[in-house]
Amino acid sequence: HNGNLVNMADLKWELIRNGAVFHTTTDSEVIAFCLARERARTRTIQEAVLATARKLSGAYALVIMSPQKLIGLRDPYGLKPLCLGKRGNAYVLSSESCALTAVDAEFIRDVEPGEMVTISAKGIESDRSLQSEKCAHCIFEYIYFARLDSCLDGINVYDARIAAGRSLARSHPVAADLVTGVPESGLPAAKGFALESGIPFGFAFYKNSYIGRTFIKPSQAERESGVHLKLSVLAATVKGKRIVLVDDSIVRGTTMKNLVQMLKEAGATEVHVRISSPPFRHPCYFGTDVPSEEELIANRLSLEGICRMLGADSLGYLEMKALPEMVKGLPLCTGCFDNNYPMEIPEPKPLPFWCGE
């Protein structure tokens, strides 16, 4: 299961009242309980999956195995990706097309939003009874989450990030000597910025590949120390130069503030920050690791205030109007930027203490 349910608390309460005992806090366990109960009432596993799906609200891409069938299901909005491939006589389901390449499988197509595919000895069957007229693919898949060599819903991720960088260069030009990106997710947008602006592209950081994502570490001290462990500056590349530093997003600002400081300590004369997404101002309810609004720097400070806090010489974000162009008009969920979610988000409902929440 990839994604988060927004009605998880309601479903969990209903199951608890009927005797369910939970061992985790994951949405996936709630789905599994619902599926097991529906399976006892239905003739086939497909009917149970569809009956379960009609109870779910939120983002989900599911792969479900029974003794004789492999089932893939995508939520009606297509918030999370899912694709179908084939290797020899075997079919493969995966969140991203790059995983098919890794197992030497051929990409066949994306599972459509609201579609259920069933793979059995009979071959492939498709059920589109859950489909809706409205789709809203997660924009953050194209900005950050998806791997660079993937293609999601007909959009090449690398091309989308290059396009974002080009748009950023048009909307926020600057006189500089070098364009660089924050490894790894900022590099394609930095390349696009360099191509559009004509400023040379280069590497300013060396990445320690054994350190994970810093923005989800629990404390501020851990996030700050993690940045220095994760990245080091190639001083000879930046000394005496005006740098354009491109990254995919700013969450709390911890990482970017440290990177700007590191570049200036290494001899950069100016650091101009460019971000290949609009400002994060709202939480994501569908599976992106975006913290509460109180922790989001763009929700607390103005553009000028963020720039001062970062210690940057200038700051520019990708404009909202550039997002459709980035993904060739694909319908998007942009709630974390503009508070416009594709579905109603219910008020949080506390769960009983024995659920481990």
For the segment 14-31, the average pLDDT, to the nearest whole number, is: 91
- In percent, the amount of the chain with pLDDT more than 70 equals 91
Cα distance between residue 167 and residue 275, in whole Å:
11
User: How many angstroms separate the CA atoms of 259 and 182, rounded?
Assistant: 9
Tell me what pLDDT residue 346 has: 86
**Whole-number pLDDT of residue 224:** 54
Question: CA nearest 60: which of 6, 5, 116, 133?
Answer: 5
Residues 216-246: pLDDT tens digits?
Answer: 455 555 555 556 678 999 999 999 999 999 9
How would residue 351 be classed by pLDDT, with cut points 50, 70 and 90? low
Percent with pLDDT over 90 in the chain: 82
Confidence (pLDDT) at 222: 52
Q: What is the pLDDT of residue 74?
A: 98
Question: Which phi and psi angles does 170 have, rounded to 5°?
Answer: -75, -40
d(CA 357, CA 351): 7
Tell which residue, 169, 138, 170, 141, has the closest CA to residue 156: 141
User: So what's the pLDDT on residue 227?
Assistant: 65
Q: In the structure, what pLDDT confidence band is assigned to residue 207 with cuts at 50, 70 and 90?
A: confident
Q: Do the Cβ atoms of 195 and 166 come closer than 8 Å?
A: yes
**86 strand-pairing partners:** 91, 106
98-153 pLDDT per residue, tens: 999 999 999 999 999 999 999 999 999 999 999 999 999 999 999 999 999 999 99
Distance CA 300, CA 99 (A): 39
- Contact (CB, 8 A) for 284 and 6: no
Selection from 20-34, 49-63, 336-350 with the highest mean pLDDT: 49-63
The pLDDT-based confidence of 287 (bands split at 50, 70, 90) is: confident
CA distance 31 to 11: 9
Does residue 269 register a pLDDT over 50?
A: yes
Q: Which residues pair with 91 in a beta bridge?
A: 86
pLDDT at 167 over 80: yes
- Out of 20-34, 173-187, 227-241, 339-353, pick the least confident: 339-353
Q: What span, in angstroms and rounded, lies between the C-alpha atoms of 271 and 5?
A: 40
pLDDT band at 288 (very low <50, low <70, confident <90, very high): confident
Residues 3, 97, 125: CA angle, nearest 5 degrees: 80
pLDDT digits (tens, 9 = 90+) for 296-321: 999 999 999 999 999 999 999 999 99
